[in-house]
Every structure is written in structure tokens, then in C-alpha cells.
Amino acid sequence: ASRIILATDADPPGQALAEELARRLGKERCWRVKWPKKNETEFCKDANEVLMFLGPRALKEVIEGIHGDELGIPTGWKCMDGLYKVVPGELTIVTGVPNSGKSEWIDALLCNINNQCGWKFVLCSMENKVRDHARKLLEKHIKKPFFDARYGGSVERMSKDEFEEGKEWLNESFHLIRCEDDCLPSIDWVLNLAKAAVLRHGVRGLVIDPYNELDHQRPPNQTETEYVSQILTKIKRFAQHHSCHVWFVAHPRQLHNWTGAPPNMYDISGSAHFINKCDNGIVIHRNRDPDAGPVDVVQVCMKKVRNKVIGQIGDAFLTYDRITGEYKEADEAIVAKVVKQQIRQKSTSYQR
């Protein structure tokens, strides 16, 4: 058989079964069914529920409409879908100067993908406390602030029922990799736990945030460039073998004479291999100049897209809602003002 359709249950055991079947049969000839939503919040578990809630025609359309994930999963922002889609088995490097919102943007992207496709994720986010990270994910999902604190303004906070529903969603959608003792986690330790999450829970995405929080003990005869190349090779092999998309956050080195413009992928501390070996390279940049436009404008710069089918190099502009942590598409007038200011900054830099 040249084309095998895996129509297992949508629960964790069913997804783990599909993952193991694909591994044994060959992932290059396997397509996995994504069961549609049966109501506003729940997905159908299996073919029987599609028949019961949506009818036989809907089930036929689900099976005949399978094309795999080779065309990518949309990000949830129309302005970005022409630039970047999420493909299983790929590695995306995300960078940006401190306090640009790299982790917040990735969290928002994961929430969008989960809402569209029901993907589950494993998070190795070492700069986030567990409770704070859970709160931020809940706020993005429920679209309400967790606290009656100052940042929430006059917006109604989430109710107890919404909070309980959100906790169930968190437990079903996200799995954490934490190193609670004093030692730093190694990349092998992280990937071994991520592999267990893929097989047990059907996880489709892994976030490693950030690179500089990993244990980087290397042999004396190995250069940092060789070491970074080895790490990225391990991550890419994991992503391809388990059909799992990996987001890897890496900070730029100290930027001297920085004018406020977005950094480049080659500015990442450590090695040029970060851009050379990744499938996708993204720079997250936040406007800090009130004269250039609203300071809640976030620029998502696609600096590298290896697969031309799913995107291209370019910029997308989003606005950040500080109350709920959501990202929304920016108005055209705001985008034009920010771009004009960046052109002026470049012109000033060249004159210097």
C-alpha cells in the first residue's frame, strides 16, 4: 500500500497508537485523520461520533479531504499564513532582543494551533515559573485576565467555572518538562522526556526555551560551533523521527550601538549554525519608540523558510493585548507608520 490512512481515536492512547503505527509502517506513506469539532468546544473522538453528531456525509468528507500536514498548519493570523505555516518534523528557531515577547508569541501560536487542530504540546520553558506560565496560557485561552490586578483594567476576570474548564484544557493540551533540582538539563535529557510525551500523549509540538538555560558541557577538543551543530542535528532528528515540530528559542549576543531595529538571525549568540541548520528562522521584535507608533505593536520577521510550499521571507505585524496576552492583526495604518519609522532609522544608521 502506498497510502495508509490512520483513523485512530483522538484521545491520548489513540494518538499514541497512530504514532507507533506510522513509525512501524513508514511515516512517508501514512496520513492521519483529524476528527472535526462536534460543538464549539469539543472534538469528535472517533468515526462513530462523527456519524452520530455530523452524519455520514461529514465522515466521508473528513476521509476524502486528507492531504497530510505537508501544506502546514495555519498560525491563526491571516497576515502570517502567507509567510509561515507549522509543519511536523521541522525545526523553527525563534530569537529577538530581551523583553520582545518571544515566549508570549510562541504561547499564543500554540493556543491558536490547539484551537484549530487539537494539537498537544510539551513545554521545556525554563525561564517561566509553572504557575505564571499556566496563568498566561489560561488568559490566552479564555481571553480574560486571571487577576483583578492593575494590568486587567476594567475587564472582567475569568470566573471559577471558566478557571476549572481552563485547568482541564491545560492538563489535556500541555505537558511540562521541568528540572527541579540544581543541575541544568542537557539536550539529551530533554529529548528523552519529549519522546515519552509523544508516545504516551500524542504530543505534536515541543518548545525548548531558551538555549542558554541548557547544560552546555562539551569536550575540551570541541569548538562551540561544532557543539551547536551537534545539538541542532539531534533536535532535527527528533523532530523528523517523531513527526513533531520543535520551536527552539535562542537569545542574540550583546548588540553594540543598537538603534532599535530588529536583530538578524546571525546575531544569535553561539554560532551561525542556528540559521544554517534550522528549517525556519523567526525574529520577534517589539516597538519601543512611542514616536514610531503604538508600543504594543509586535513585528514577526520571517528570516528563513526552507520549504517554499509553506511560506516565504517577509514581515507580519501584530498587536499585543497586555490584559489577556492575545495577539491580533495590526491595522494597516499602524503598520505603515512603523515601517516608515524603520526606514528612517536605517537611513540615519547609514549616514552615521
Q: Quick: pLDDT tens for 311-328.
A: 999 999 999 998 899 999
For 155-210, the pLDDT digits (tens) are 888 999 999 999 999 999 999 998 776 677 899 999 999 999 988 888 999 999 99
Q: Verify that 20 and 137 share a domain, yes or no.
A: no
**Final residue before a domain boundary, out of 41, 65, 89:** 65
pLDDT tens digits, residue range 218-237?
888 988 889 999 999 999 99
Q: Are residues 99 and 157 in the same domain?
A: yes
Q: Is residue 173 a contact partner of residue 165, using CB atoms and an 8 Å limit?
A: no
Using DSSP's 3-state secondary structure scheme, residue 192 falls into helix
Domain that holds residue 57: 4-65
Would you state the pLDDT for residue 57? 93
State the distance between the two ends of the chain, measured CA to CA, in whole angstroms. Answer: 64
Give CA angle at 351 (350, 352), nearest 5°.
90
**Number of compact structural domains in the chain:** 2
Q: Residues of the chain with pLDDT > 70: what percent?
A: 91
User: For 114-142, what is each residue's pLDDT tens digit?
Assistant: 998 889 999 999 888 999 999 999 999 99
pLDDT at 296: 85
Per-residue pLDDT reduced to its tens digit, 10-54? 998 998 898 889 888 877 678 888 898 888 888 899 999 999 999
Are 109 and 56 part of one and the same domain? no
Can you give the pLDDT at residue 309? Answer: 85
User: Beta partners for 175?
Assistant: 122
Q: What's the pLDDT score for residue 317?
A: 94
pLDDT at 67: 62
Does some domain include residue 72? Answer: no
Cell matching residue 232: 541542532
Residue 179 is assigned to a structural domain of this protein: yes
- Specify the DSSP class assigned to residue 253: P
- Residue 257's pLDDT is 66
Q: Are residues 102 and 140 in the same domain?
A: yes
- Of 84, 82, 70, 80, the C-alpha closest to 304 is 84
- Band of pLDDT at residue 340, cut at 50, 70 and 90: confident
For residue 71, is it within any domain? Answer: no
Q: Write the CA distances from 328 to 28, 259, 285, integer angstroms.
A: 35, 26, 15
Please report whether residue 73 resides in a domain. Answer: no
Q: What is the pLDDT of residue 202?
A: 85
Q: Is the peptide bond before 210 cis (omega within 30 degrees of 0)?
A: yes
The per-residue pLDDT for 49 is: 94
List CB contacts of 94: < 8 A, sequence separation 6 or more.
Answer: 102, 105, 106, 247, 248, 249, 250, 282, 283, 284
Q: Are residues 46 and 153 in the same domain?
A: no
Cα angle at 351 between 348 and 352, to 5 degrees? 90
Any alpha helices (H) in 291-331, and if so which ranges? none
Q: Is the pLDDT of residue 280 over 80?
A: yes
Strands 280-286 and 297-305: antiparallel
Among the listed residues 285, 282, 277, the one whose alpha carbon sits nearest the alpha carbon of residue 313: 282
Claim to verify: residue 160 and residue 56 sit in the same structural domain: no
pLDDT at 342: 67
Residues 18 and 102 in one domain: no
Q: Cβ distance 140 to 325 under 8 Å?
A: yes
Decide: helix, strand or coil at residue 266: helix
* 244 neighbors 203 (Cβ within 8 angstroms): yes
User: Is 334 contained in some domain?
Assistant: yes
Per the DSSP assignment, residues forming a β-bridge with 86 are: 73
Max Cα–Cα distance, the chain, nearest Å:
69
Predicted confidence at residue 199, as pLDDT, reads 84
Do residues 141 and 40 share a domain? no
Reported pTM: 0.81
Q: What is the pLDDT of residue 292?
A: 65
The chain-wide mean pLDDT, for the chain, equals 88
**247 occurs within a structural domain:** yes
Are residues 14 and 146 located together in one domain of the fold?
A: no
Look at residue 252 and tell me whether its pLDDT is greater than 70.
Answer: yes
Domain stop point among 26, 42, 65 = 65
CA distance 115 to 351: 47
- pLDDT level of residue 338 (50, 70, 90 thresholds): confident
Q: Of the given ranges (135-139, 267-271, 290-294), which has the lowest mean pLDDT?
A: 290-294
Q: What is the mean pLDDT of residues 270-279?
A: 89
Q: Would the pLDDT of 96 be above 60? A: yes
Give 235-251 pLDDT, tens digit per residue: 999 999 888 999 999 98
Give the list of residues 6+ apart from residue 72 with CB closer than 8 angstroms, or none: 85, 86, 87, 309, 310, 311
Quote the cell numbers at residue 104.
Answer: 508570549
